[in-house]
Structure 1
Amino acid sequence: MDLRHLRYFLAVAEEKHFGRAAERLNIVQPALSMQIKALEAELGGALFIRTSRHVELTEAGLLLQAEAQRTLDQVEHTRLAVERSLRGETGRVRVGFAGNAIFSGKMTGDLRRFHKAYPDAEIVIQEVAPQKQVEAILAGQLDIGYTPDNSTTSVAAIRVQKAGSWEIMVAMTDDHPLAGHACITVEMLAEQPLILYDAHDTHEQVYLMFAQRLGDSFRVAHRSASTLSVLAIAAAGLGLALIPAPVQQVNIPGLLYRRLDAPEMMANLVIISRVAEPSNAVTAYLEMAVPTVL
């Protein structure tokens, strides 16, 4: 007994006529009659009471009708569930982010579009330091990361896709000697205690450019993986923070932002993920997010 037998049986049970059932199934009547007889032989008894005008279900036939319908409904449910999974409409997407991803609006925009298109997919969002996102993805704890590009992303198993770039701003207290300048040059930052993100390690482009321009007068006083921590340290007067332009949306009493006159130094944001991605939901998310990359 297979699914075809059940569909044939239900067609006859519903039409109460072999000819109409055969027409509905788009097969010839003798072939349908043969299939029903084979089903009855396999089950060991009659399923229909046949007359010259129509057929009626036996007691066993009534039982099979209910079970066959339930079976075919479950098969259809399974088919649709698998198809939705293959299209990425269900499943789970775990997204890690560094603070810049929030302030730029890139990640939140991607999440809104994905949730609208795939409302049944589960989305898990958590803040993860840039230096730890690659490790989390490779360990299967995270699927997608929004992070400034850094030395940890240069891994063969990790796909890196550009998500945007912005000019660098300098955050400082409103009573700092440089606060009167509308624009800060790199040379003005010589000997100044600077506050950097952890992502700006000694191999990262921004760090290397500052080291080259300032030489021995390049001073890194503090580092942090958290945007709010970077701003808090700057607001406390412990140094000047180098931040991506979107972060200036954060209003902290006593803290102001000035543009850095260094167009060659840009803060960037990338989307990282596995090169070999087994999840259809994650793949669907990436396909939606990547075409909008700046």
Structure 2
Amino acid sequence: MELRHLRYFVAVAEELHFTRAAERLHIGQPPLSQQIQALEAELGAQLLERNKRSVRLTEAGRLFLDDARRILALSEQAAITAQRAQRGEAGELRIGFTFSTPFTPYFATVINRYRQQFPHVSLTLHEIATLHQLEAIAARTLDLGFVRTPETTFPDAIQLTELRQDPLLLVLPVHHPLAAQKEVAVADLAGEAFVMYPKNAGTGIYIRIFRLCRAAGFIPRITQEAGEASTIIGLVAAGCGISVLPASFDRIRMDGVCYRPIADPQATTSLFLALREDETSPLVTAFVKLAEAAAQEEKRPAKPALVDNNNYE
């Protein structure tokens, strides 16, 4: 039994007239009659009662008509779904993002636009550190990801496209002597206690801080580690040390903490879109195009706000 047999039967059942059904299907009446007879023979059931003056459905025909309509509707929907998927308009897209990414207005803009333009695509979002994202993309458990500057080697199969560049900020207690400065050089942090992500957290910022400090002539003294930026900021507020984070985290307001720009021009981190070099999925292509267009709209890197929660400036 083929889909065309179902279409033929539905047309006859709705018209209850072989000539009109044949005209509707753009085929001859004799071939249509033959196809219906063949369908009944295959099913082993009479679907239509016909004589010279009328055609009517049997009980088997009425029941078969309901199922035939459902099957045809499903086949049409399957074709539409396949066509949407080919155009990148349907399916599932698995996207990773770093801990700092949701704090950038850019990320919200991209995700909202994509949902509006591609409502039939299921977005699965995963918060994962940069290096772990790159591994997941190479292993095909993620389709693409928003990552920070890796600062280390990563799988050759990964392609990175820079979307924006953000400054790094110094996070320190409001009563710290350096809080009186409008900006702070990395060299001024020698001897300070650092609160940082663990080395194995997979964040590029860990390596970035070490490189900045070594370039300034010292190795950072890590006295406390935490896996979440909000925890790091809370530990700074508790007097456990100072920290360096991407500027997007300055949106976390916490008593006892202030943020200061770092004077060194190399104290920046970039946000990249990562994907496999051999990626051919229309879903990924459509997302990349939208993300790159949104990045072009942002002509200038975000400027950090100078905010003290205890003393707003």
TM-score between the two structures when normalised by the length of structure 2: 0.75
Compute the displacement of 1:251 (Å).
1.6
Structure 1 residue aligned with 2:171: 171
User: Does the 8 A contact of 2:138 with 2:155 survive in 1?
Assistant: no
Structure 1 portions without partners, runs of 5+: none
Compute the displacement of 1:11 (Å).
1.2
Q: Identity over aligned residues, as a percent?
A: 35
User: Does the 8 A contact of 1:153 with 1:160 survive in 2?
Assistant: no
Structure 2 residue aligned with 1:16: 16
Give deviations 1:197-221, integer Å, cap 9, x for gaps: 542344x4x6434422x12x34343
Structure 2 residue aligned with 1:180: 180
Structure 2 residue aligned with 1:229: 231
Q: Pairwise mapping of residues 30-45 of structure 1 onto structure 2 (< 5 A)? A: 30-43=30-43
User: Does the 8 A contact of 2:96 with 2:146 survive in 1?
Assistant: yes
Letter in 2 for 1:208: R
Letter in 1 for 2:256: G
Rounded to whole Å, the distance in 2 between the matches of 1:8 and 1:108 is 50
Give deviations 1:228-253, integer Å, cap 9, x for gaps: 23323332334332222222222221
| Residues 130 and 71 of structure 1: CA distance in aligned 2, closer, same or farther (over 3 Å) | closer
Aligned Cα root-mean-square deviation (Å): 3.3
Letter in 1 for 2:160: V
| Residues 52 and 291 of structure 1: CA distance in aligned 2, closer, same or farther (over 3 Å) | same
Rounded to whole Å, the distance in 1 between the matches of 2:33 and 2:21 is 10
| Residues 195 and 75 of structure 1: CA distance in aligned 2, closer, same or farther (over 3 Å) | same
Between 151-160 and 261-270, the greater mean CA deviation after superposition: 151-160
Rounded to whole Å, the distance in 1 between the matches of 2:251 and 2:283 is 32
User: Does the 8 A contact of 2:195 with 2:222 survive in 1?
Assistant: yes
Report how many aligned residue pairs link the two structures: 290
Structure 2 residue aligned with 1:242: 244
User: Does the 8 A contact of 1:134 with 1:153 survive in 2?
Assistant: no
Give deviations 1:165-185, integer Å, cap 9, x for gaps: 112222222222222211223
Structure 1 residue aligned with 2:205: 200
TM-score between the two structures when normalised by the length of structure 1: 0.79
Q: Pairwise mapping of residues 109-124 of structure 1 onto structure 2 (< 5 A)? A: 109-119=109-119, 121-124=121-124
Structure 2 portions without partners, runs of 5+: 198-202, 297-313
| Residues 127 and 81 of structure 1: CA distance in aligned 2, closer, same or farther (over 3 Å) | same
Give deviations 1:113-155, integer Å, cap 9, x for gaps: 3333444544444432333222344445544433312145631
1:292 aligns with 2:297: no
